[in-house]
Amino acid sequence: MNRMMSATALFLITLAPATAVEMALPTGTEILEVNGSITSSNADGKAIFDLEMLDTLPQRVTKAITPWYTGEREFSGVIISDLLEYLGASGDNVTFTALNDYAAEIPMEELENLPIILATRVDGQELSVRDKGPLFVIYPFDLDSALYNEVIFGRSVWQVASVTVH
Ligand SMILES: Nc1nc2c(c(=O)[nH]1)N[C@H]1C(S)=C(S)[C@@H](COP(=O)(O)O)O[C@H]1N2
Ligand SMILES: [Mo]
Closest of 152, 115, 121 to residue 136, by C-alpha: 121
pLDDT computed for residue 18 by the predictor: 44
Q: For residue 95, count CB atoms less than 10 angstroms from its CB and return exposed for 0-12, middle for 13-18, buried for 19 or more.
A: middle
Name 30's Cβ contacts closer than 8 Å, sequence gap at least 6: 48, 49, 50
Cβ of residue 107 lying under 6 Å from some atom of ligand 1:
no
pTM for the whole structure: 0.88
| Beta carbon of 98 within 6 Å of any ligand 1 atom | yes
Residue nearest to atom 1 of ligand 1 (CA): 158
Q: What's the confidence (pLDDT) of residue 22?
A: 74
Q: Tell me, what's the pLDDT at 14?
A: 47
CA separation (Å) from 109 to 94, 127, 143?
10, 27, 17
| Ligand 2 ion local residues (Cβ < 5 A) | 154
Per-residue confidence of the chain (166 residues) as pLDDT tens digits? 455 555 555 555 444 444 566 799 999 999 999 999 999 999 999 999 999 999 999 999 999 999 999 999 999 999 999 999 999 999 999 999 999 999 999 999 999 999 999 999 999 999 999 999 999 999 999 999 999 999 999 999 999 999 999 9
d(CA 111, CA 74): 20
How many Å lie between the centroid of ligand 2 and the Cα of residue 2?
Answer: 61
What is the Cα–Cα distance from 110 to 59, expressed in whole angstroms? 18
Answer yes or no: are the C-beta atoms of 51 and 28 closer than 8 Å.
yes
Residue 9 has a pLDDT of 53
Q: Is the CB of 100 under 6 A from ligand 1?
A: yes
Nearest protein CA to atom 12 of ligand 1, as residue:
154
Superfamily assignment of 22-165 in CATH? Oxidoreductase, molybdopterin-binding domain (3.90.420.10)
